[in-house]
Amino acid sequence: MTVNAVKAFQKSIKIPVTGVADKNTINLLIKASAVPKASNGKTENQQNTSQVFTFKKGTPGSLSGKIVVIDPGHGFNDPGVTRENVYEKTMTLDMGLRLKRILTEAGAMVIMTRATDGNSGYNSLYYRSAVANKLIVDLEREKLEKENAEFEKQMSNFQNLLISKGAELEKLNSEDREINKQKIDDLTKEIAELTESSDELKEKIDLNKTRIEDLYNMSLTFNYYIEQPSYKERYGIMKNPLEMAKVFELTKEKYNKDIVFVSIHCNSTTAETQTSASGVQVYVQTENDTYYTDYYNNYDYERRKILGMSLLQELNLSTGFSKKYTSLFKSRLSVLRENNLPSVLVEIGFFNNPSDLKIIKDQQQRENASFGMYKGIEKYFEYWKK
């Protein structure tokens, strides 16, 4: 390390600039070099020579009990937009993983549609919604399995009671039936009631069993897509409207309060370079889309819009793009259409605007953008507490 490099380091971490690598400086250097390497091989500090990189933190417990599905756009042999050797797929994954770290600190459970570049080819759009849909059917199946385990316990209590009451009745009948008449009548009534309750419970158990099997089969179908991310055959509301409607209704009825789906992308217009294109755009599912009147259209638009606006506002605050959008974009994008969680797609900056790209390439700015998404998600859940 040269004297100038030592000076630069001392300046960057705001300790006296002497150019001498004394014990204190060396200790701080060791600490700084322990910062994880970024995707381009430079440490966080080397990315920002003018200031020290700051990790943003989630507030512990602020999102406990919540689940966030993060969908980093593109991956593997689908790079997305590319400029200056920077790939959209790399930036979306980077921001997705940062968001995961912050959300986990806040106590949320995070599910990534991809946590690496991928190794089995292109991740189809149906694969991405399959991750969300499988989550829903698995949660419901696990709930019913737990419920049935409880029911089975109750059932075995009923059976034991019926056996002992039956034996008691037999004994009374074998003795003096005139003297025991009242007792026999009471016991007979009790046994009849127990039998009725046990029959009702049996019906519930059987109903749950059918439902569990149904959910298990749906889970297998979604899993087929999850295990083969490149599988291009469509499985969605236009191909399998009735099956998908079942999952969508289940999501809306029971699972859209504590779970959200966020797809992360970066933007570009068709022009090679366009300096007027800038900022964060947030997409939500088109309301009452006449194009799809024959298919499912019972999305929870209110939740989607509130999630979208919360993310847009917080992303505008946390990023330094020259343009700030103030309203949402509506679209029938697959990742919004093919699952029924409150779902949004965020486009963070324009690759074909050099000033936007400069921001996207800066790790601190990406950390800030991820923190903005976290704040948006937190704000969304706060909204429903009121």
Taking the complex as a whole, how short is the minimal distance between the CB of residue 337 and Zn ion, in angstroms? 16
Task: Extract the tokens encoding 268.
Answer: 């570009």
Residues of span 279-338 touching Zn ion by CB under 5 A: none
Comparing every residue's Cβ against Zn ion, the nearest one is 265
As a whole number of angstroms, the distance between CA 201 and CA 107 comes to 37
3-state SS assignment for residue 268: coil
Q: What six digits make up the tokens of 173?
A: 């009948």
Give 75 or 80: the residue with its C-beta nearer to Zn ion. Answer: 80
Query: What spatial distance separates the first Cα and last Cα of the chain, rounded to whole Å?
Result: 56
What is the closest distance, in whole angstroms, from the C-beta atom of residue 123 to Zn ion in the complex?
Answer: 12
Closest by Cα among 160, 156, 178, 340 to 248: 340
Closest CA to 123 of 82, 89, 85: 89
CB of 88 to Zn ion, least distance (A): 5
User: CA-based angle 81:87:90, to the nearest 5?
Assistant: 125
Q: Considering the rule CB under 5 A, would residue 128 count as an interface residue with Zn ion?
A: no
Q: Which of 58, 72, 80, 96 binds Zn ion (CB under 5 A)?
A: 80
Contact 340/248 with Cβ under 8 angstroms? yes
- Residue 220 token pair: 């297998």
Q: Is 265 in the site for Zn ion (CB under 5 A)?
A: yes
Q: What is the largest distance, in Å, between two alpha-carbon atoms of the chain? A: 111
Give me the least distance between CB of 251 and Zn ion, in Å please.
Answer: 25
Question: Judged by CB under 5 A, does residue 72 bind Zn ion?
Answer: no
Nearer to Zn ion, 80 or 279 (CB): 80
Q: Note whether 246 and 329 are within 8 A (CB).
A: no
Quote the least distance from Cβ 347 to Zn ion, whole Å.
7
Span of 6-14, 65-73, 195-203, 208-216 interacting with Zn ion by CB under 5 A: 65-73
Q: Does residue 114 touch Zn ion according to CB under 5 A? A: no
Q: Beta strand 109-112 with 67-72: parallel, antiparallel or unpaired?
A: parallel
Number of residues that bind Zn ion (CB under 5 A): 3
73-81, 109-117, 221-229, 307-315 -> range binding Zn ion (CB under 5 A) = 73-81
Phi, psi torsion values for 86, nearest 5 degrees: -105, 130
Nearer Cβ to Zn ion (255/351): 351
> Least separation, in Å, of the C-beta of 114 and Zn ion?
13
CA atoms within 13 A on the CB side of 43: 16
73 binds Zn ion (CB under 5 A): yes
Tell me how far, at minimum, the Cβ of 78 lies from Zn ion, in Å: 9
Tokens of 57: 């933190």
Shortest Å distance, C-beta 303 to Zn ion: 24
**Choices 36-44, 78-86, 216-224, 319-327 (CB under 5 A): range interacting with Zn ion:** 78-86
Cβ atoms of residues 323 and 292 within 8 Å: no
CB of 29 or CB of 284, closer to Zn ion: 284
Structure token digits, residue 44: 């966080």
Binding site for Zn ion (CB under 5 A): 73, 80, 265
